Amino acid sequence: MKFIRFYAPLLLLLILPFLAQADAQPNKTTLQSSEQAAELNFSDDQRAWLAAHPVIRVGVDPDFAPYEWLDKNGNYVGIAVDYLQHLETAMGVRFEIVRDKSWSESIDMAKRGELDMLSSMVKTPERSQYMIFTEPYRETQLIIIDNGQGGFIGDLAHLAGKRVALEKGYFAKELLEKNYPKIKLVFAGNTDEALRLVVDGKADAYVGDAGATNYAIKKNDLSSLRFSGQTEYTSAQSFAVTKNNAELATILSKVMGSISKEESEVIFNRWLGLRIEQGIKTKTLIQYGAGLAALFLLFGYWIYRLQREIGYRKVVEMREHSRNSILEMLAKAASLPTILETIERSVEQQHSGMRCRIFLLDDQEKSQPHTVTSGTEANDMEHRQSDVFCSQAIHAASGEVLGMLSLYRHRPGTAAASNAAPDTPPDALLIEQSTRLAGIAIEKWISAEKLRHSEAHYRQLTEGASDVIWKTDRDLYITYVSPVDERLRGYKADEVIGRHVFEMFTEEGIATVTELIHQRQASEQSGIPTGPVTFEVQHRCKDGRLFWAEVLSKPERDEHGAIIGFHGITRETTERKQMQDQVRQLAFFDPLTNLPNRRLLNDRLGQAMTASKRSACHGALMVLDLDNFKQLNDTQGHLVGDLLLIEATRRLTCCVRATDTVARFGGDEFVVILSDLDTDATESATQAGIIAEKIRTSLSEPYLLTVKHDEQADTIVEHCCSASIGIVVFTDNENTQDDILKWADAAMYQAKAAGRNLFRFYSENPE
């Protein structure tokens, strides 16, 4: 009993700290404002806004650790909440956190203007339509997590056709749906549920924030999950303000800019460094109490296991910290030697007495490896005194060998060997993780080098061309344009890249391209692959000018035949277009009056007859001859006669509709075509007669013709001239165009014979 009375309190003292640790929450540390924050100089408008808004409604994500979440006591905690506490102090306001709302519900409230801001949100094009974003306060890479059963994924392209878990309302949904439409998205309520879908086999992978994912895996002890690749996207957490609170965004940016890097690190280290302990359950305590004697016997073994657990956790934390550091370097595009050297140092820290070296296979001689780290004379000597302990190949996602990771141990008898730990097997998980990270870094570097060489070669080809060479994505947003475009339109490349192609066309050009797009989509949906197309549209210049250009556009396809973009050539055709227009003008229009000539008249008459057949409405054709024109030509000359013809043309066109046709048939003879009159022949004749009378009256008004002279004063010639008009009402029957013109001409001569200055309808038996 004396033994028990002595050791029981000691045992309780040893157990109580672990109980306290299991239930303890992180102490709430108030971020101390820096001197810069204390001396913020808000503008008058900003002070007025803060005075008018003492309470600011904030939406948060209740389950997005470590950025923000609801703890078991009902308190909102996390990185974003710590920042909000600092902002409250600096701004002199109170942030009212809207509770009992999911993240997607908070986003919907922000869209409706029911919130002032959201505390942790990633900026996307869609969200920028209704929110204003501050500069990010934390940026981490989006990574890929799987269950460790299959091969290494590598990047998002290898998830085509796979199920990928995401949280509802997560910004990655917008990016994946747009850029990786073949990925099947599976949605969960939060990060924990999304990771559980991967564990349970209901999703093939999870894509999410590296910090939040790491936190959730440690918290829920999801040791079966593994890091299996990275994405090209970054999770940049920012404060987001609704559009009607623009002043608030400037205030937040000013206060956030006053926070020092050291103060930010206090927040990050506090939350990102939390350890999740499971504690000791009540049932276990009862069992301990019932078997207290057995605990005494096992106490020493328990201490031993506890020490091993602490050591293991330290190793895991060191490994996680190292992995996160390397992922951050990958996300920020650090140099390849820097990343590989960091991987080497990480392996060496966890294998005392060992040296780690990473080699790349030479592009020209694959059998001759060479190191990418800087080799000094001391390092060379160190390698000569070492033996290879183990090596593992570094593979690309395709399986290609990119290099080798080797561990060295010092030879017996050397100074380094005397300080080294005894031989221990290498950590297989660490070596596997390190080779994967090295593979990602090397493959990314190789891709960047290939892209750089490709772009340099492409630039050499395009800069010397006289035509514009361009590329777009599948949505017609420009991804490349050659320098010739700046010479043609005045826009520099950085003003064009990222813009939609419709911005360079006129409205008519947009309509032309839209119709071509619809035709292409219809063919593709019918299973008929489309090829290059050529079209001619007007382009807009920076100085407001317009020019014509011919565009050759060719689709780019992926390995499955789907269109992923377009590329092509644009060639200026303004001069050619002008020449074509001039030829057309000469071929189809009268050079004096600019009216359609006989050739174009036949085409318009054919169109009117076809329209009559389609609508069952009658049309009418008039032949007009000026009654007193020859006398003017004989007495005043052809120059004055031309002036009268021009004035007669003006009067004629004012008497008819825009849809009707007025043509010059030759000399002083004109033709008018009226279409779509009426289905009844009598009513159509009445309408044609009204228009003919209007024309006759207008042409009968006296003409005052101004004749200009080079060295003398202008002279005015007054002339009276009437017109005789013959009319034929027609439908699309068995009659030909020549018949209709012949009958109208005959009716015109009937009008002349009847005394001139009047109109007559064609009749086979004139009175």
- The CATH number of the domain holding residue 494 is 3.30.450.20
532 and 560 both lie in a single domain: yes
Examine residue 373 and state whether it is found in any structural domain, yes or no.
yes
Examine residue 371 and state whether it is found in any structural domain, yes or no.
yes
Examine residue 291 and state whether it is found in any structural domain, yes or no.
yes
500 and 634 both lie in a single domain: no
Termini Cα distance of the chain: 149
CATH code: domain of residue 361: 3.30.450.40
pTM for the full predicted model: 0.34
Share of the chain above pLDDT 70, in %: 80
Instruction: Tell me which of 579, 614, 648 is where a domain ends.
Output: 579
What pLDDT score was predicted for residue 304?
A: 63
Please write down the long-range contacts of 428-433, taking CB distance under 8 Å and 24 or more positions apart: 430/319, 430/347, 430/350, 431/347, 431/390, 431/392, 431/405, 431/407, 432/392, 433/227, 433/319, 433/323
Task: Extract the residue ranges of the chain whose pLDDT is less than 70.
Answer: 1-39, 272-307, 311-312, 362-388, 410-426, 454-465, 578, 580-588, 733-734, 764-767
69 and 162 both lie in a single domain: yes
Examine residue 584 and state whether it is found in any structural domain, yes or no.
no
408 and 484 both lie in a single domain: no
| Per-residue pLDDT reduced to its tens digit, 477-529 | 999 998 888 888 999 989 999 999 999 999 999 999 999 999 999 999 998 99
209 and 70 both lie in a single domain: yes
Rounded-to-integer distance, Cα 490 and Cα 544, Å: 10
111 and 53 both lie in a single domain: yes
For residue 341, what are the domain limits?
333-448
Q: What is the residue whose two structure tokens read 């492409």?
A: 458
215 and 262 both lie in a single domain: yes
What pLDDT score was predicted for residue 74?
A: 82
652 and 725 both lie in a single domain: yes
DSSP state, 530? -
Rounded-to-integer distance, Cα 734 and Cα 730, Å: 10
Reduce the secondary structure of 681-743 to three states and give it as a string.
HHHHHHHHHHHHHHHHHHHHCCEEEEECCCCCCCEEEEECCCEEEEEEEECCCCCCHHHHHHH
Instruction: For residue 566, list its beta bridge partners.
Output: 472, 555
Which secondary-structure segment (H or E) carries 388? strand 386-395
Rounded-to-integer distance, Cα 255 and Cα 83, Å: 10
What b-and-e string marks burial along 731-752, b requiring 16 or more CB atoms within 10 Å of the CB? ebeeeebeebbebbbbbbebbb
634 and 697 both lie in a single domain: yes
DSSP state letters, 651-690: HHHHHS-TTSEEEEEETTEEEEEE-S--SSHHHHHHHHHH
Q: Which two tokens stand for residue 661?
A: 């046709």
What pLDDT score was predicted for residue 659?
A: 87
Examine residue 585 and state whether it is found in any structural domain, yes or no.
no
Examine residue 326 and state whether it is found in any structural domain, yes or no.
no
* Domain count across the chain: 5
Q: What is the residue whose two structure tokens read 């045992």?
A: 11
Examine residue 767 and state whether it is found in any structural domain, yes or no.
no
Examine residue 733 and state whether it is found in any structural domain, yes or no.
yes
Residue 188: how many other CB atoms lie within 10 Å: 20
Q: If 0-12 CB within 10 Å is exposed, 13-18 middle and 19+ buried, where does residue 322 land?
A: buried
Instruction: For residue 725, list its beta bridge partners.
Output: 624, 759
Least Cα distance to 229 among 139, 105, 327 occurs for 327
Instruction: For residue 96, list its beta bridge partners.
Output: 57
Least Cα distance to 392 among 360, 355, 435 occurs for 435
Q: If 0-12 CB within 10 Å is exposed, 13-18 middle and 19+ buried, where does residue 486 land?
A: middle
Instruction: For residue 75, list its beta bridge partners.
Output: none
438 and 374 both lie in a single domain: yes
What pLDDT score was predicted for residue 36?
A: 42
What pLDDT score was predicted for residue 366?
A: 38
DSSP state letters, 190-228: SHHHHHHHHHTTS-SEEEEEHHHHHHHHHHHT-TT-EEE
412 and 495 both lie in a single domain: no
CATH code: domain of residue 605: 3.30.70.270
132 and 252 both lie in a single domain: yes
**Contact assessment for residue 331 and residue 234, using Cβ atoms and an 8 Å cutoff:** yes
Q: Is the CA virtual torsion 710, 714, 718, 722 positive or negative?
A: positive
CATH code: domain of residue 232: 3.40.190.10
